[in-house]
Chain A
């Protein structure tokens, strides 16, 4: 997205989403006015609740952190031309993997090693889960969108089965859960804040993903295969291997999100793992146009929207679904904005050299 030699394209990539968000704000304002709230007061409240003070910022970042990692599960395969929506399933599997490792290691190792083990477990489980969708795609030509969606249901059913059956802590009476992690193995907060380390993991993962996709030969190969799979095969790229590795990496990001939920927030695995972070991540990935760096930005904005949900209900007496209306509007308009790329002559590159060739020879 960022390309110094091509400033008009960069400007386009900034102006269109920003413009789209402004349009969404205007439509949302009309909605608020219809429901009977003063739109400007509502804008003010959203800003204050999401970004107004340090405490509000923390609230936003807390909301954003699971979305960051879960979005990467869609972002990475998208560069390979695959539409993976199995984020929720990979997150749930990651949570399961983490709790299995965490409980079986117990206090036998130092907390740091146990935490690393849990992260590995989460990434392995989540990674394998999405790699299944990738393998089905490559070897059996099963549509990866459908298979990853169905894998979500299987993962959630598996979680419920294990949590309510073999792995259940009998003392978790009315909310079936696994046995709790040892307190000492829990993931803490970033010092001086109430934000857990998941945010940091997410930011690092976004940067690593960006470098991997945009700055390495591996990423180049993946993008080539995403551009034209035949051409990539003719060029001798191992498309199958690429597909499975990228899918594994994607799934392991979501799996890590599951590990963070288990190790930092809940301390157990239960049905609270499956609360829609995966689906939120899909939206983030598409709005960020599958750019890992933009993903971080979009996740924080969405976190802000979610963080402001409470104030809309409490201060403006708006219905609880208002924040979903706002979120839906923003995404609809931003995705519509996607179709405007290349429509504004101002953003088109004027390359003199093209004119030298007669048009026919290009076709």
Chain B
């Protein structure tokens, strides 16, 4: 009897373990549900052309249909795939570890890629630099990495002054808010993110000078539970327009919509997630820069011969960002104001950061009469939040 009992308890323990593991495995496989809706549209027909097509590899850190950063790059890749004489290979969900080095190597050795766009920021150092040294004939273009002299000649970086788009989103938010309180769900207190918070807040303050932006840092690029909690607590405080800078804005937009407050998107167009309450959104537009790079290479220009610049930056003038179409809640006056500023960005007469500018600790960032142009190197190392932002770095 005793033995039988102990065997039973042993079995049930094992069964529990098995259950736990099965759940884990299910969790892993369940990710599939979100990842499978969109299939890669790799162009196989390109190989039929007489000349060898240029093979371009795109690598993403997350799924290609995440309503976020990765999707914005995948949309750019899709535009490049349309070009004649170009073949695009893509790989999604590649972590920022040695795995990405192996992925680049496979794309070069097996697929014959001669241009690579590893898009996640964390791919740059050490991964891209290491592989670039090993394959000096292949060109590596990276979003956001800072190219410095001494780095391999075949590495280039590009990025986008998307805080311009956030500035306009701030204008729209200020026109829409009733409480004068805006919310910003942010991942990490790094320069890129701080710049967006500052841009959004400055845009809003240009309409209503005493407006405030409450910031919550979740600490992670993808932390859906914390993002939802942040939105909920913001709504409870009376905040009525919420935007974000996280990898996938899906949760923020959906939660805001569920709670009945306005929201403003980021990375890509999320209006489908909140058709009534979505105001506008700051979207990347990688199509033009990716097409530009592909055309340069087709013309025989390379990073190595110096005909492609190592650092490419751009704002609205260069068509590096776009705005989501205005939602139904956006008033006519907001639209005209936003469009007017957009026109100033288009002819590069608009400057976001002008003195006198104070941070939210009361320190003077820019004295009266001074200003930072978008290209200012000081902005790349932003570590302050502008006056009117509630929260600290």
**A binding-site residues for B, Cβ under 8 Å:** 35, 49, 55, 59, 62-63, 83, 145, 157, 160, 164, 173-176, 261, 265-267, 270-272, 275-276, 279, 282-283, 286, 306-307, 309-311, 313-314, 317, 319-322, 324-325, 327-329, 331-332, 335-336, 338-339, 363
In the assembly, what is the distance between CA of A276 and CA of B189, in Å? Answer: 24
Are A160 and B22 closer than 8 Å at their CB atoms?
A: no
A224, chain B: closest CB distance, angstroms: 15
Chain A residues lying within 8 Å of B121, measured Cβ to Cβ, are 174-175
Considering the complex of A and B, which 8 residue pairs feature the smallest CB-CB distances, nearest first? A328-B29, A321-B35, A320-B92, A321-B32, A320-B93, A328-B25, A319-B36, A275-B95
B106 within 8 A of partner (CB): yes
Are A331 and B21 closer than 8 Å at their CB atoms?
A: yes
Pairs across A and B, CB under 8 Å, 30 listed: A49-B106, A59-B105, A59-B106, A145-B20, A164-B189, A174-B121, A174-B190, A174-B191, A175-B121, A176-B190, A271-B122, A272-B95, A283-B25, A306-B99, A310-B91, A310-B94, A314-B90, A317-B41, A319-B32, A320-B35, A320-B64, A320-B91, A321-B31, A328-B28, A328-B29, A332-B22, A335-B21, A335-B22, A363-B1, A363-B4
Are A286 and B21 closer than 8 Å at their CB atoms?
A: yes
Known: A59-B102, A314-B90, A320-B92. A175 touches B122 (CB 8 A): yes
Chain A contact residues, majority secondary structure: helix
Are B29 and A174 closer than 8 Å at their CB atoms?
A: no
Known: A266-B126, A310-B103. A272 touches B96 (CB 8 A): yes
B375 within 8 A of partner (CB): no
Number of B residues with CB within 8 Å of any CB on chain A? 63
Chain B residues lying within 8 Å of A321, measured Cβ to Cβ, are 29, 31-32, 34-36, 63, 93
Chain A residues lying within 8 Å of B125, measured Cβ to Cβ, are 175
**Most A-side CB within 10 Å, residue of B98, B124, B192:** B98
Chain A residues lying within 8 Å of B91, measured Cβ to Cβ, are 310, 313-314, 320
In-complex Cβ contact of B42 among A265, A311, A314, A324 (8 A):
A314
Q: How many CB-defined contacts (below 8 Å) exist between A and B?
A: 137
B 256-270 to A, binary, CB cutoff 8 A, 1 in contact else 0:
000000000000000
Are B24 and A325 closer than 8 Å at their CB atoms?
A: no
Interface positions, chain B 65-117, Cβ under 8 Å from A, are 89-99, 102-103, 105-107, 109-111
In the assembly, what is the distance between CA of A196 and CA of B189, in Å? Answer: 33
Residue of A nearest to B63 (CB): A320
In-complex Cβ contact of B98 among A62, A267, A310, A329 (8 A):
A62
Known interface pairs A164-B189, A174-B121, A321-B36; 16 further A-B residue pairs with C-beta atoms within 8 A, sorted by A's residue number: A62-B98, A176-B188, A265-B126, A270-B122, A272-B122, A279-B24, A311-B110, A314-B42, A317-B41, A319-B32, A319-B38, A321-B29, A321-B93, A327-B25, A338-B14, A339-B14
B311 within 8 A of partner (CB): no
**B binding-site residues for A, Cβ under 8 Å:** 1-4, 14-15, 17-18, 20-22, 24-26, 28-29, 31-32, 34-36, 38-42, 63-64, 89-99, 102-103, 105-107, 109-111, 121-122, 124-126, 144, 146, 188-192, 219-220, 380-381
In the assembly, what is the distance between CA of A175 and CA of B127, in Å? Answer: 13
A32, chain B: closest CB distance, angstroms: 12
In-complex Cβ contact of A329 among B17, B29, B39, B111 (8 A):
B29
Are A282 and B28 closer than 8 Å at their CB atoms?
A: no
In the assembly, what is the distance between CA of A152 and CA of B23, in Å? Answer: 18
In the assembly, what is the distance between CA of A59 and CA of B105, in Å? Answer: 10
A261, chain B: closest CB distance, angstroms: 8
Residue of A nearest to B113 (CB): A314
Known: A313-B92, A314-B91. A324 touches B144 (CB 8 A): no
In the assembly, what is the distance between CA of A267 and CA of B129, in Å? Answer: 13
Chain B residues lying within 8 Å of A320, measured Cβ to Cβ, are 35, 63-64, 91-93
Are A282 and B63 closer than 8 Å at their CB atoms?
A: no
Chain A residues lying within 8 Å of B39, measured Cβ to Cβ, are 317, 319
Residue of A nearest to B57 (CB): A314
B45, chain A: closest CB distance, angstroms: 13
Are A283 and B21 closer than 8 Å at their CB atoms?
A: yes
Chain B residues lying within 8 Å of A173, measured Cβ to Cβ, are 146, 190-192, 380-381
In the assembly, what is the distance between CA of A35 and CA of B39, in Å? Answer: 10
Are B189 and A311 closer than 8 Å at their CB atoms?
A: no
In the assembly, what is the distance between CA of A267 and CA of B18, in Å? Answer: 37
Chain A residues lying within 8 Å of B380, measured Cβ to Cβ, are 173
Chain A residues lying within 8 Å of B191, measured Cβ to Cβ, are 173-174
Are A338 and B18 closer than 8 Å at their CB atoms?
A: yes
Are B192 and A174 closer than 8 Å at their CB atoms?
A: yes
In the assembly, what is the distance between CA of A174 and CA of B109, in Å? Answer: 30
In-complex Cβ contact of A160 among B14, B64, B90, B219 (8 A):
B219
Are A265 and B188 closer than 8 Å at their CB atoms?
A: no
In the assembly, what is the distance between CA of A307 and CA of B98, in Å? Answer: 11
Are A272 and B97 closer than 8 Å at their CB atoms?
A: yes
A189, chain B: closest CB distance, angstroms: 11
In the assembly, what is the distance between CA of A279 and CA of B24, in Å? Answer: 9
In the assembly, what is the distance between CA of A180 and CA of B93, in Å? Answer: 26
In-complex Cβ contact of B188 among A164, A306, A319 (8 A):
A164
In the assembly, what is the distance between CA of A174 and CA of B191, in Å? Answer: 6
